[in-house]
Amino acid sequence: MVTITPLHIWFRLLRHHLRLLAPSSAIWIIGLVAVAMLVSSAYETTMPTEADRQALAISVEGNPAFEAMFGRAISLDTIEGFTMWRAGGPLIPAIVIWGVLVGTRLGRGEEDRGHDELLLGGILSRAALLLSALAALGILAVIYAAATTLGLPLVSAIGLEGSLRFALAMAGGFLTFTALGTLLAQIMPTRSAALRAGLGVVGITLALRMLSVLEAAPDWLPWLTPFGWYAETGTAQIGSNLPFLLFALTTLAFAVGAVMLCRERELHGSRLVTEQESATATRSYRSLWAHQVRQDGPSILGFGAVGVLLSLIFGMVADEFVDFIEGFPAFAEILAAFGLEDPTDPAAYVGLIVTVLVLIPALFAASVVAALRDDEATGRLTVLLVLPIRRVKWLLVNAVVAIAGITLISLVIGFSAMAGTGITGTMLAPLDALRAGLNLIPMAVMFTGMGILVFGLYPPLTGPAVYTVLLASFIVVMMDAFLDIPDWIVSLSPFDHLALVPGEPANLTASAAFLLIGLGSGIIGSIAFRYRDLMMD
Amino acid sequence: MAENNEVLRFDNVTKRFGETIALDSLSMTLERGEVVGLLGPNGAGKTTALRILLGLIKPTEGQATVYGFDTWLQPVQVHQRLAYVPSEFNVWPNLTGGQILDLLGALYGGYDPDIREQYIERFNFDPNKKGRTYSKGNRQKIALIAALMTRADLLVMDEPTAGLDPLLEQEFQTVLREAKSRGQTILLSSHVLSEVEVACDRVAILRNGRLVEYGTLQDLRHLSARTVEATYRGDPPDFADVTGVEDVVFENGHVRLQVTGSTDPLIKAMAKSEITGIQVREPTLEELFHSYYGEEPVDG
């Protein structure tokens, strides 16, 4: 008789968790490593002389606007510092979003879909299950770090030590938010709620990173968030090793917290629910519209709040940005790559930051379409669709509430940017704020439509496809300012076609194309959904 | 719209998932006011049949209709006449049980709040808790109450008592009888054979996607073997070559056997011996079920 020990079973579970993550993680790791390799390899071609490098360091280090966007810059006259700032600046938010996605998936997603109950029927405890998930996530971090460490020296002059430092700092951010994701998964009632809470934390910590570059910000502020820790790692020469310890301790604390909470929590239960709270909910939702507003409302408020915070902060550094640019006119060339023709115009700056913040309504749109699949996989959709409700109507209600949410979030971003600039003295006209906000809507609507298309054709891919396309398109444009990415690749990204309103006139052709693609995809997706089988997990 | 009493019809319905045939040329009908039990082991095609009936998946071949409406092409018209109880109900975690009932009732097109309250009381359900706090049994109560309070003409139930305690299972039986007496038609897929035996007028048995038997319990019993037990003195009766007799077991003056069809040849064979006692028992549904599936375990 073959004896199978609990340890054997645990390793089988670990393999199972790795298998679950493998397809999407492969795409994420390849994408993250490739972008970092591209940036690192471009260092010597874009800044061939020492003078160029010095100029870059002098121009960017200490510039609040650029540091607000990509984090604190250290040693930009070295390839290590350049890679940390230019590659890691946009990649660190991406890798932590990935961390939250996978952390909440293994921490709660499998449980929500009823898969964990089967696994827990054996001799393994819930803590063992969560430990296996955490181990699998740790292995992902190791694979990512190894690929980055070995990959960068192949294409650039960066040494192994510098490459390893960058990889560990990125992996540290990933692990911290992964562990946070598993912790939130124990606290929140569903994976969807945990994911949204995790994305909210990402937004707030990003805002704190931005605040920390303001002149008035206290010195300790960068040390308050993992984004700050990432920047403080700097290079081996000018940088601190303390962040690595902080990453490790925070990850450990979150992981231990998650394991402790999961042992106390009932399956499908939540730490947030009390009997008292339960008894207060008396309002009835008697229409599909009211129901959908109830489901998406908290998310709209959350994404809106993050949008307000970030656009306020960005707005508040507008004057410093303009003053800085006036002192360094040569920098205008780099900014032109972002489409900023006259960087001394505050309206153009607001256009730039609001355009970057389009990521918020777009992420909201992605979260809404990912929730469509969640409803289908868990069987909640079945309960609705056996009522006299047309499938297309259900989808339409979801889309309309999503678009209303996108509109609200976009407008508050525009007006908050106006308020932010107003605080520091440069008042933007309300009409300009309105235009800036309206300019964001078509692209997020397009992502909603594309999500519905995937949902209609192949529902299991809905979330992964939309999040991946969204973040990849964003990163391509962010990188294009410093890299010679082929134009045709950049032009595939919708972010490339977004006008910097109010700094320049709206690109009505692009906006119309976004809306048409969104509408067309949405219609095709709806028809496909009407005529396909419902697929539960 | 069907003008006769026919409520639902599967007309040569086949469903394939890739190479797998989940349902194979299913044809059956339900009449108004009937309670029909759908039986079969896992993978027999019960859930596929129900999902086709609900318009959630499309038949690869054939057609399913409810009150004359095509379930795939006219799902809304179908859903106006039926209510469904799933085997597992994943509720919205942020809504209370009461809110979920209100929502489902309103989306159905209306319900009587008094009836809702009656069922809440009868099933001993607390509607003031958030969805995420309910146990499986309580989530199942929501599904049951939501379906029953609509007074839909057709109730489609997929293992409706999964997770309910025995007392509530008994209450469920009463509720089924009441629904039947109101003229509601019920299609009940269940693994609880005693439940089906008590409640159902007809039973459909599926195996490997095919309908292997469909009829009243009386019909099925007539077609199936009855158990005969007898005691005798002296030489044991000789059942060799007796038509319809099988599985004969002798033990200390006692014989146990199965007989199919007419009992006349058996009685004539017994008359040749000194029989001191005899008992003929019709098969229970469980025995019938086993006779169709041989050694396959009854899942549940």
Window B:135-194, CB contacts with A under 8 Å: 143
In B, which residues are within 8 Å of A387 by CB distance? 79, 104, 107-108
For residue B149, the distance in angstroms to the closest alpha carbon of chain A comes to: 13
The predicted-structure confidence for B17-60, as pLDDT tens digits, reads as follows 999 999 999 999 999 999 999 988 888 899 999 999 999 999 99
pLDDT attached to residue A130: 93
State the amino acid at position A380 in one-letter form.
R
Do B117 and B145 meet the contact criterion of CB atoms below 8 Å apart?
A: no
Please tell me whether residue A357 adopts helix, strand or coil conformation.
Answer: coil
Do B130 and A273 meet the contact criterion of CB atoms below 8 Å apart?
A: yes
DSSP H stretches of helix in B182-256: 193-199, 217-223
Q: How far is residue A394's CA from residue B56's CA, in Å, rounded to a whole number?
A: 14
Q: How far is CA B70 from CA A230, B30, B145, B175, in A?
A: 60, 15, 27, 29
Terminal CA-CA length for chain A? 34
pLDDT attached to residue B232: 92
pLDDT attached to residue A481: 66
Residue B250 near chain A (CB below 8 Å): no
Burial of A488 (0-12, 13-18, 19+ CB in 10 A): exposed
The predicted-structure confidence for B135-193, as pLDDT tens digits, reads as follows 889 999 999 999 999 999 999 999 898 888 888 888 999 999 999 999 999 999 987 77
Contact B76 A275 (CB under 8 A): no
pLDDT attached to residue A275: 43
Contact A279 B128 (CB under 8 A): yes
Checking phi first, is residue A114 left (phi over 0); if not, alpha (psi -120 to 50) or beta? left
Contact B102 A286 (CB under 8 A): yes
For residue B16, the distance in angstroms to the closest alpha carbon of chain A comes to: 12
Residue B92 near chain A (CB below 8 Å): yes
Q: How far is residue A129's CA from residue A108's CA, in Å, rounded to a whole number?
A: 11
Q: How far is residue A399's CA from residue A463's CA, in Å, rounded to a whole number?
A: 15
Q: How far is CA A357 from CA A324, A401, A450, in A?
A: 22, 21, 20
CA-based angle A184:A187:A188, to the nearest 5? 85
Q: List the structure tokens of B64.
A: 């399913």
Checking phi first, is residue B151 left (phi over 0); if not, alpha (psi -120 to 50) or beta? left
The length of chain B in residues reads 300
pLDDT attached to residue A332: 63
Smallest CA-to-CA distance from A91 within A158, A152, A162, A173 is with A173
Q: How far is residue A374's CA from residue A163's CA, in Å, rounded to a whole number?
A: 39
Burial of A61 (0-12, 13-18, 19+ CB in 10 A): middle
Residue A383 near chain B (CB below 8 Å): yes
Give the A:B interface size as CB pairs under 8 Å.
Answer: 111
Smallest CA-to-CA distance from B165 within B199, B123, B119 is with B123
Do A24 and A468 meet the contact criterion of CB atoms below 8 Å apart?
A: yes
**Residue B232 backbone phi and psi in degrees, to 5:** -145, 165
Q: How confident is the model at residue B299 (pLDDT cuts 50, 70, 90)?
A: very low
Helix axes A430-457, A346-356, angle to 10 degrees: 20
Do A380 and B90 meet the contact criterion of CB atoms below 8 Å apart?
A: yes
Do A227 and A247 meet the contact criterion of CB atoms below 8 Å apart?
A: no
Helix (H) / strand (E) element for A162: namely helix A160-187
The predicted-structure confidence for A268-322, as pLDDT tens digits, reads as follows 776 665 444 444 455 677 899 999 999 999 999 989 998 998 888 888 877 777 7
Contact A281 B79 (CB under 8 A): no
Q: List the structure tokens of B12.
A: 């040569």
Q: How far is residue B176's CA from residue B98's CA, in Å, rounded to a whole number?
A: 23
Smallest CA-to-CA distance from A172 within A101, A254, A242, A244 is with A244
In this predicted model, which residue has the larger pLDDT, A475 or B124? B124
Per-residue pLDDT of chain A (537 residues; tens, 9 = 90+): 566 787 888 898 899 999 999 988 998 999 999 989 988 988 888 788 888 888 888 878 887 767 877 888 888 899 999 999 989 988 999 999 999 999 999 999 888 877 777 777 777 788 899 999 999 999 999 999 999 999 999 999 999 999 999 999 999 999 999 999 999 999 988 888 888 889 889 988 988 887 787 776 778 888 889 999 999 998 888 889 999 999 999 999 999 999 999 888 777 776 665 444 444 455 677 899 999 999 999 999 989 998 998 888 888 877 777 776 666 665 666 666 666 667 677 788 788 888 888 999 999 999 999 999 989 998 999 999 999 999 999 999 999 999 999 999 999 999 999 898 888 777 788 999 999 999 999 999 999 999 999 999 999 999 989 988 998 898 888 777 666 778 898 999 999 999 988 888 999 999 999 999 999 999 999 999 999 999 987
Q: What is the DSSP string of B86-140?
A: -SS----TTSBHHHHHHHHHHHHT---HHHHHHHHHHTT--TTSBGGG--HHHHH
CB-nearest to B132 from A269, A380, A386 is A269
Alpha-carbon torsion A159, A162, A166, A169, what sign?
A: positive
Please tell me whether residue A4 adopts helix, strand or coil conformation.
Answer: coil
ipTM, two decimals, is: 0.81
In B, which residues are within 8 Å of A268 by CB distance? 93, 132
Residue A268 near chain B (CB below 8 Å): yes
Window B:183-222, CB contacts with A under 8 Å: none
Smallest CA-to-CA distance from B126 within B87, B100, B153 is with B100
Burial of B1 (0-12, 13-18, 19+ CB in 10 A): exposed
Please tell me whether residue B31 adopts helix, strand or coil conformation.
Answer: strand
Q: What is the DSSP string of A495-518?
A: GGG---TTTS---HHHHHHHHHHH
Chain mean pLDDT for chain B: 88
Do A296 and A288 meet the contact criterion of CB atoms below 8 Å apart?
A: no
pLDDT attached to residue A337: 63
pLDDT attached to residue B52: 96
CB-nearest to B56 from A282, A382, A388 is A382
Burial of B265 (0-12, 13-18, 19+ CB in 10 A): middle
CA atoms within 13 A on the CB side of B250: 9
Residue owning tokens 């489609």: B156
**Domains in chain B: ranges and CATH:** 6-220 (3.40.50.300), 225-282 (3.30.70.260)
Q: How far is residue A67's CA from residue A355's CA, in Å, rounded to a whole number?
A: 17
In A, which residues are within 8 Å of B129 by CB distance? 275, 278-279
Residues facing residue B37 across a β-bridge: B188, B203
pLDDT attached to residue A59: 77
Q: How far is residue B64's CA from residue B70's CA, in Å, rounded to a whole number?
A: 6
Window A:88-147, CB contacts with B under 8 Å: 114
State the amino acid at position A256 in one-letter form.
V
pLDDT attached to residue A324: 67
pLDDT attached to residue B97: 94
A65 contacts: CB under 8 Å, gap ≥ 6: A317, A318, A320, A321, A324, A349
State the amino acid at position A496 in one-letter form.
D
